[in-house]
Amino acid sequence: MTSDSDSSAVAELVERGMAKHGGEIHTGYFDFHGVLTRTLTNSEMVDRAVTGFLRAFPGEEAEKPDIEFHLFTVDKLDDSLGEIPAKAALLYDWGMVKIYHQGPLRYLEVDTQARVVADVEKRTAVGFAEKELLQSDWLVSNLFFYPLWGQLLKECGLFPLHAAGLVKEGRSCLFLGRSGSGKSTLTLHLVKNGYGLLSDDTVFLREKDGRIEALSFPEEINVSEQTMELIPELSRVENFTVNELRNKSSFSIEELYPGCVVDTSEPALMVFPQIAEVASTTVAPMSRTEALALAMRYGYFFLDPSTTGRHFEILSLLARQGRCFRLNSGSDQEELGRAVDRLLTGSLEEDQTSGGRKE
């Protein structure tokens, strides 16, 4: 990928990074649903964190990957390492983390301690972060690597959606919601009841022959203390990682339910859960228009000049493909699983009686 990009900003920064901070370079290859990423880093810790983050997607070494991502750790970040041009326009502002764009370049800035520059046309990126910032694997993977890698994946036709994905008989139910909406609790209930898992937090969407497929992204599952109390089986987990920053603990679901991860599935339901302070769980149908409007909020970095149009099409197809519901989760935890079961079973039966899939 870099052979024809000698004149690009990313290539120049990679050269600068190699000259100043090179040393021993750790290289990783990851085959993420057919998109091959090569990572190169001067840090053993970054290499370990990214490899752990993408442990489900090992890839074969290749001359020309689809995405190339350099990650350098430095003692002190200076302006020569990916300074954001004055003309770059602000795209997202989450306080400490900001994203800018100018032409094909995207700039991620984490306070004054890290910068990542990605070229969406060449599908290359380079990041520099002060060692002091990268205190945990989670920070490396979710702050330093994932945001602009996710954007490059969109350029390759894979669109991230903030949703848990559960599978039954080859069809999936996507639960769309922000952190705290009950996605992880639902995930654990359903996997316990025999559902396959795409992810408890982020699935990727891809169009194939006019239909939308949901693709797995089985990160470690983050659970709050409250969830731990609700799901007794979690006491069997031996390897918890405590994330003090997020006040949650994470674990690999395969430790509890080996073989539960499913690679891909066709979504039949979009469900928007919210935790309701009531005893009984209720489900209400939602219009596709409203579901699409909400889904746009949960598409990562939906507003990007290069991919918003395609992202909008993908989410529109998704909203048209299945049925959409709002789920108000009550305190009757066992009913949650049954409610989803009924929705998905209803969807399957509907398909069988109509002799085809919806719309």
Binding-site ranges for another protein (CB under 8 A)? 287-290, 292-293, 296, 302-303, 305, 308-309, 312-313, 316, 319-320, 359
Nearer to another protein, 237 or 324 (CB): 324
Q: Which residue has the tokens 């301690």?
A: 113
Nearer to another protein, 164 or 315 (CB): 315
Nearer to another protein, 57 or 312 (CB): 312
Nearest to 217 by CA among 202, 230, 229: 202
**Which strands make up the sheet holding 221-223, listed edge to edge?**
221-223, 248-251, 241-243
Are the C-beta atoms of 336 and 287 separated by less than 8 Å?
A: no
Nearer to another protein, 21 or 310 (CB): 310
CB of 293 to another protein, least distance (A): 6
CB of 317 to another protein, least distance (A): 9
DSSP 32-64: ETTEEEEEEES-HHHHHHHHHHTTT-B----SS
Which residues are CB-contacts of 255 (< 8 A; sequence separation ≥ 6)? 237, 238, 239
Nearer to another protein, 292 or 340 (CB): 292
Q: What's the chain's Rg over C-alpha atoms?
A: 21
CB of 155 to another protein, least distance (A): 16
CB of 109 to another protein, least distance (A): 20
CB of 253 to another protein, least distance (A): 33
Give the C-alpha separation, 35 to 156, whole Å. Answer: 7
Q: What is the DSSP letter of 2?
A: -
Give the C-alpha separation, 287 to 308, whole Å. Answer: 22
Nearer to another protein, 2 or 308 (CB): 308
CB of 22 to another protein, least distance (A): 40
